[in-house]
Structure 1
Amino acid sequence: MEQIIHAHDIHGYFDGLASYLTGSEVLQGSEHKILLSPLLGTGSITRQKIRPGIEVVLSDMTLQEDWKQYITEDQVFEIHYCFSGNTDCFVNGKSFSTEVRPCNFYSMETTELYLHKKSKQKYQCLEIRMSPEQLLRYFEGENDYAYVQKWLQKQLGNITPLKDTVMLKRAVHEIVNSTYQGSMKRLHLESKIMEMLLLVLDNGLQGAGSWPVSKIKKQDRERLYAARQMIEERLENPLSLKELARATELNEFKLKTGFKELFGMTVFEYLRDLRLEKGMLLMRIDQLNVGEAAIAVGYSNPSNFSAAFYKKYGCNPLQYRKST
């Protein structure tokens, strides 16, 4: 099947879907669900309006045949996270597949986007959609406003991958599995959206030498980002500070002071927080017990994991495990 959508505002995309997919529609306040008709497939597409200019769209469906979409939007900034299923995307001569990289973000302005969703696959994805104006409102009155505006302009027509980190997985998981209702749910979702925006802007910061965050030299900044990546990839068996400095060709002083300046925390604090966040996900999603989660993230002594977990989250991991 083929579909053409021309959306004049952020919410026009989903409205276009609703007029095309003739299945049942369920309205629950600001939440709108489309149930696919048996002729098209099984499953649903749900839209939660957060506020004018921001919405969350969650697709969970299996199509009977390939679905080709030609979408033109006046303006949109989107973060797209795919859990399963393969979508091919083409824009401005560029292409990507969600099978290769599950999370991407892009900014479009009167640009045609072509999407090809494959049939007979379980297709599950999350879309955070907002107007560029709404994104910029978060920075009104701040010195960063002009830099974010400039960064947005550079993003126009580009599709950029976002690394699938523990922090991103956590925010996505909490959006999809939010247990709040009504206005509390909208508030909860917006807080998670802001976490994802921070990750996106942090991703953009690596290539934005004019961003007024640090006086660290470009070469050292790149090495510090490499150090952070090494920490993320070796949670269970981390390098010592000396080994990390040697691996990134930084002396220990530059590593310690530069990391703190660039990322707002020490190397140890960053490693600890990542371990605790991954441990939380393992208990919540994979249903590991406290001891198993502690070992999986590199704690040889579960009591040390429990103490650090309590200090960060205000409850011990056993209490958290029982509440999930």
Structure 2
Amino acid sequence: MVKAKVFVYQRRFDGWPKEGDLKLVEEELPPVKNGEFLAEAVYLSVDPYSRVFSSRLPLGAPFLGYQIAKVLESKNPKFPIGRHVFGYFGWRTHTVVKDEPSGMFPPPVLVPEWKDVPLSYFLGVLGMTGNTAYFGVLEICQPKKGDVVLVSAAAGGVGSVAGQIFKIKGCTVIGLVGTEEKGKWLVNELGFDNFINYKTADLDKALSEVAPKGIDCYFDTVGGHITNTVLSHMNEFGRIGICGTISSANEDNETSAPFNLSHIVGKQIKMEGFTVLRWPNRQSEGMVQNHKWIQEGRLKTRETVTEGFENAFKAFLDLFLGNNIGKAVVEI
């Protein structure tokens, strides 16, 4: 009988996630039945959306999360032993998997056997993180050559990829970050044109200095007061794509910084929220294109890797403390 280590959702988050909100337990797994396979986690994805979606998760359930896992036993010919899969299995070391969707999340898929990239990339730049950036930029923001673009949380997994795709499309790109180290990484290694450290700068004044002619497109993952400030700097017919509200993820009242609707109306701004799940049949498109850009040297990435399944909660908390650069993953 196979035993799995599982982080279960023990207590509702109240503000910042705390020790004890998740509980590490062991459980015995049932035998693998026809059509199923046994997967052993290799890498675990750590994402801000897990905090937001946790309100929908019943207490006692495995905590939310994607992983890259290796097939150890299989009674499903689509998932042969030894192959790696990408799936929404939650925070657990072993899973008996059915080839079907899990709630709103798609069914598991085989990871491509591309030898020129690390396996962990399929949780980041070649996974849903990279696809969030890919579709958010191209489908929602629809950049035009010469656009001035602002990207929030620009040193994170999604923002860092989004900014580079905007550059590929001929835009001037400014990144919002929380440290000088992150900003220098964006400019010196990823090719961003400028950055603003929102923790030390007067954001309103800084935006006037680095984007004196205004902002055409804003790729937003934070929301809150930052987004409200950015609105006054948007140009007429500007586009805003919103895929996260991490600034208010740990607050009970997410309306603490209401948008100035007069800017949206007066400037005729298009403001649209999205998740990557909107394009279920096009995920391979984004993966293949991002991979091509990596091969061409036009797209770079960075990971913050936490060792050990038991340390997943620390990696999760570090997201909200701003301690990671690039995509956050746990190596089991």
TM-score grouping bracket, smaller chain normalisation: under 0.3
TM-score, with normalisation over the residues of structure 2? 0.27
Structure showing the higher helix proportion among its residues: 1
